[in-house]
Amino acid sequence: MRGLDEHRAAALALAAPLPPVLVPLLEAVGQVLAQDVTTDGPLPRWDNSAMDGYAVRAADVAAATPDGPVVLRVVGDVAAGSDDAPVVAPGTAVRIMTGAPVPPGADAVVPVELTSPRTGGQDAGDHAWATSGADVEVRAAVTAGQHVRGTGEDAAAGEVVLRAGDLVGPAHVAAAASVGRATLVVHRRPRIAVVSTGDELVAPGTALRRGQIPDSNSWLLAAAVQAAGADALRLGPVGDDPAALRRLLHELDGGDHGTVDGIVTSGGVSAGAFDVVKAALADEPGVELVPVAVQPGKPQGLGRLPSGTPVWTLPGNPVSAFASFEMFVRPAVRRMLGADPERPRVAAVADEGWRTPPGRAQLMPVRRVPAAGSGSGSEPGPAVRVRRATARGSGSHLVARLAVAEGLAVIPADVDEVRAGDTLEVFWT
Amino acid sequence: MRGLDEHRAAALALAAPLPPVLVPLLEAVGQVLAQDVTTDGPLPRWDNSAMDGYAVRAADVAAATPDGPVVLRVVGDVAAGSDDAPVVAPGTAVRIMTGAPVPPGADAVVPVELTSPRTGGQDAGDHAWATSGADVEVRAAVTAGQHVRGTGEDAAAGEVVLRAGDLVGPAHVAAAASVGRATLVVHRRPRIAVVSTGDELVAPGTALRRGQIPDSNSWLLAAAVQAAGADALRLGPVGDDPAALRRLLHELDGGDHGTVDGIVTSGGVSAGAFDVVKAALADEPGVELVPVAVQPGKPQGLGRLPSGTPVWTLPGNPVSAFASFEMFVRPAVRRMLGADPERPRVAAVADEGWRTPPGRAQLMPVRRVPAAGSGSGSEPGPAVRVRRATARGSGSHLVARLAVAEGLAVIPADVDEVRAGDTLEVFWT
C-alpha cells in the first residue's frame, strides 16, 4: 500500500497555479494576487492636514501663548477635495480641513481648538471659525511640520503595497483602491467537476424504493470545492455503467476548449464486482488506482485524462470522501488558486483514547472539548482538547453525524492506539 | 465620551436575526440554519452490507474454517441500488455489494476475501466470484450481524441531525442530502448599503487633480460586508452636500418595500466645518452622533432612520473605518445572519511595547511574529506573539499598509502603555 504522504504528494503534483486574470476589486476577495501592486505616486500625494484648523507659517506663531495670542489674517479656505491653493504669506493663515492639501507658504497646521475668531466669527461644525478676510487669534505655537501628513509618508512612489501571493481581503481591496487601482490581477479561480457514482443514488427529496439512498457525496464535494475557493460543477449521480461514465469524463476532459480544471469522483473504486470508476478508468494510462495506507479512505485513484485534466477518484463512503477531499483534493485546489496548499496544523490533546488501525494512518473527525470556565480570559489558555466527533469514531458511513466534526486529527501509521493525554496533530475543517 | 463596550452594545442592539428563507443546499453554505433538520426515517433505512461478499445465515457457517469450508448454493445477486430481495434459505447465500440491502433470511455477510467459488467462478473487480446458481466455499465463520450496518445505526427516525443556529458547511449539506433534504431553511442574508462621503473622493483609476484621492473606504467596507457573509450595495462616493446625502439615506430607508437591512457610512462625522454625515443626520431623532473613547475611531454615530433601517456612521480615515467596522458593524451583521456576533478573541503576547492613549481604548492592527523554528511540531507551541502591523502603529490614514495586519489587539482604556511581554486580547480579522 502507498503511504499517506506519498499519495498526498502525488495528488498535489497534479496542480499548478492557474493563469492570471484581471478582475474588479470586489471579485478579488478570497483569491490570490498574481502580481505585485505598486503605488503610482507617493502616498499621500500631497502634504495634507491631519486636523481641522488653520494652515500657518510655524515661524509666525512661535511666540503664541494663551495669554499672548498671535493674530493672523485669514486669506482663504481649503476644504477637502478643493484644488484651491491660496498662498500663505507671512502674517496670514488659511482655514483648512482634515485631508486637504497644505497650501503654498504654510508649513504647519494649528487645530481650530487652539484658535478663536477675532473678527468675522462663524459657527460651523462644533467650532467657531474666522472666515476668509477676517482675523484669527492663535493661542499656541506649532512646530514646522506639525499636524501635517507629509507627502510619501505612507508609501513612496513605486513602492510595493501588495505582493503576488497575498490572499486578498478587505484591507487589500482598500489598499489597491487607495493607490488608484480599480482592478486586481489574481490567479483564475479553478472550475472543478464533481461526479458521484452508484446505481443506488437518487437526488435528495426523491422517494426511495428499497436499496436506494439519497446522493449526498456530490453535494458534500461541491460544497467543499466552493469552500476551498473554487467553482464547483456538480454532476451526477452517474449510474454503474462504465461506458457512460467514460463518455462523461472524456467530455469534461474536452481538450483546450472550455475544459474544467479538475474532476473529483466519488464511489466505485473498491474491489467489488460493479466498481464503475475502476472499470471506466482501468485502461486509462494516465490514471493509477491504488490502495493508500489510511483509514478511512483506502481505495484511491488519481492521474490525468488524455487531454491533461487532473482527476482524483475518492471512495464513496461519505466520511471517506470528506477526509479524502481534505487530504488529497483541497491542497491541489488551493495550489491552483495560487494559495498555500495546506491548512495550518495545530497540536491538540486527546481527551479520550481509541484504537487505530495498525499500519495505516487514521483521519479521525474530532471536535473541541469546551474549555472549563475559560471565557474570554486574557491569559494564554491551556492546550485545545479534542474528542472524536462521534462515538463511532471514523465509521465511514455516518454522514448524518459528520456535521458535528470541527476538524480531522491525523494519526500516523506507526501509532496503534491513541491514549487520553496524547498530543495529536489536528487541522480545523 | 462613551465607553467602547457601551457603544458596541448599542451598535449590536440595532440588529436581530433576519427572517427564515428556503434555499437550495449549496446556497446555504456559510449561512446559519433557522430550523432543525430531522431524519424522515431511520439511517441507514435498511440493514445493508458493509462489505462486498455473500449474505448468509450465520448459523450455516458457524463451523467454517480454512481447512473445513462450508459450501453454500448462491441463489441470487444484490447490487447496490437493486431492489431485489432473494430469500436466503438455510444452505444458501446471496452475492451482495457494499451498501446493498441485506436480503430476507440472511443475518450476516462473509467478505469475498474469505470465500472461493467452487463452481461457476467468474472474475469481477479484484476477486473471483461464484455467480448465481453456482456454489461458494466459505472459509471462516461470521457472527450474526457481522459486516451488516444495522437499520437506524447512524440516526433514528425523527432524530435531529442539524440544529437551528448551526453554521452550514460542506458536512451539513451532506447530512441534509443524506436525510433526503434538497433545501435548507436559513436566516436571510442581509443587504447592507455602504456609502463613502467626501468631496475629495474619486473612483479609483480616475486621474487625480490636486486635493483629490481615490475612494478606498467604500471598497474596504463593501469587501468587509461580503467577508462577514452579507451582500454589499456599494454606493458613492457622495460629495459634501448634506441635502443630497439625506435624500440618498431616505431612499435606502424606503419603508417596507425593497429596503436594505442596514447602512454604513464613512467620513463626515468629526468636528470640521463641512462634515456632511453629521449635517445630514443632525435633525434625525433616531440617530445619535457621539464621541467614543477609542483610538482610532473616536467620532461615531448610530441609530435608526425613520422607517427603522439601522445606520452606523463611521469615521473616514481608512484605519478608523476598518477598526470601527470590526467593532461596531460586523457583530450586527453576524447577528442578522443568525450567527455568533463575536469573533473569538485569543490571548497573544506583545513582542514590543508602545504607548497608548490615556483614557481611550486602543484598537491596534497587529501581525503575528513567525515562531522561531517551530515548523509543524506536534507539541503544543508557545504563545502567539504579535507586533504592530506597521511601524506607525494605528496611524489612521495608513491604508496602504493596513493589508499587512492580521488582527486587531484591543487594549483597554485604563492601560497607558503596552510593554513587551504583556498579554493582549487579539482577534484575527
* Assigned CATH topology for domain A27-43+153-187: Molybdopterin biosynthesis moea protein, domain 2 (3.90.105)
pLDDT level of residue B3 (50, 70, 90 thresholds): very high
* Assigned CATH topology for domain A48-148: Molybdopterin biosynthesis moeA protein; domain 3 (2.170.190)
CATH of domain A4-18+189-336: 3.40.980.10
Q: How far is B17 from chain A (nearest CA, A)?
A: 22
pLDDT per residue as tens digits for the range A213-234: 999 999 999 999 999 999 999 9
Chain A nearest-CA residue for B29: A223
CA B73 to chain centre: 54
| Nearest-CB residue to A400 (from B39, B204, B278) | B39
Per CATH, is B21-42+153-187 categorized as 3.90.105.10? yes
pLDDT per residue as tens digits for the range B381-422: 568 899 998 765 545 456 767 888 999 999 999 999 999 999
CB pair distance less than 8 Å for B80 and A219 = no
Integer Cα distance of A303 and A313 in angstroms: 9
Q: Domain B346-428: give its CATH superfamily.
A: MoeA, C-terminal, domain IV (2.40.340.10)
**Residue range A403-418: mean pLDDT, rounded:** 94
CB pair distance less than 8 Å for B240 and A181 = no
Residues whose CB is less than 8 angstroms from the CB of residue A53 and which lie 6 or more positions away in sequence, other chains included: A95, A96, A109, A110, A111, A112, A113, A114, A115, A147
Domain residue limits, chain B: 4-18+189-336, 21-42+153-187, 48-149, 346-428
Q: State the pLDDT at residue B396.
A: 46
CB pair distance less than 8 Å for A273 and B95 = yes
Integer Cα distance of A52 and A384 in angstroms: 50
Residues of B in contact with A83 (CB under 8 A): 209-212
- How large is the C-alpha radius of gyration of chain B? 32
Closest CA to B405 of B416, B390, B422: B390
| Nearest-CB residue to A162 (from B159, B271, B403) | B403
Q: How far is B11 from chain A (nearest CA, A)?
A: 20
For cell 460544497, name the residue: A223
Q: State the pLDDT at residue B157.
A: 92
CB pair distance less than 8 Å for B162 and A205 = no
Give the best residue of A98, A112, A194, A269 to mutate against chain B (max B CB count within 10 A): A98
CB pair distance less than 8 Å for A213 and B99 = yes
Percent of chain A at pLDDT above 70?
Answer: 94
What pairs with residue A138 in β-bridges? Answer: A70, A115
C-alpha cell at A428: 480545523
Percent of chain B at pLDDT above 90?
Answer: 80
Amino acid at residue number A55: A
Chain A nearest-CA residue for B100: A211
The CB density around residue B9, as the number of other CB atoms within 10 Å, is 11
> Is A272 a residue whose pLDDT tops 70?
no
Average pLDDT, chain B: 92
Closest CA to A316 of B97, B153, B40, B147: B97
Q: State the pLDDT at residue B257.
A: 55
Integer Cα distance of B282 and B269 in angstroms: 10
Integer Cα distance of A59 and B304 in angstroms: 48
Q: How far is A404 from chain B (nearest CA, A)?
A: 8
Residues of B in contact with A272 (CB under 8 A): 52, 97-98, 124-125
Q: Number of residue pairs across A and B with CB atoms under 8 Å?
A: 356
Residues of A in contact with B401 (CB under 8 A): 154-155, 161, 175
Q: Label the pairing between strands B127-130 and B121-124.
A: antiparallel
CATH of domain B48-149: 2.170.190.11
Chain B nearest-CA residue for A78: B211
pLDDT per residue as tens digits for the range A298-356: 999 999 999 999 999 999 989 999 999 999 999 999 999 999 999 999 999 999 999 99
Residues whose CB is less than 8 angstroms from the CB of residue B44 and which lie 6 or more positions away in sequence, other chains included: A213, A397, B149, B150, B151, B152, B153, B154
Q: Are A386 and A426 in contact (CB under 8 A)?
A: yes
Q: Rounded to the nearest 10 degrees, what angle do helices A170-178 and B217-227 cross at?
A: 170
Amino acid at residue number B169: G
Residues of A in contact with B396 (CB under 8 A): none
CB pair distance less than 8 Å for B126 and A213 = no
**Residue range A402-426: mean pLDDT, rounded:** 94
> Is B142 a residue whose pLDDT tops 60?
yes
Verify cis geometry, omega within 30 degrees of 0, for the bond prior to A365.
no
Q: Are B172 and B181 in contact (CB under 8 A)?
A: no
Q: How far is B217 from chain A (nearest CA, A)?
A: 6
C-alpha cell at A253: 476532459
C-alpha cell at B53: 461478499
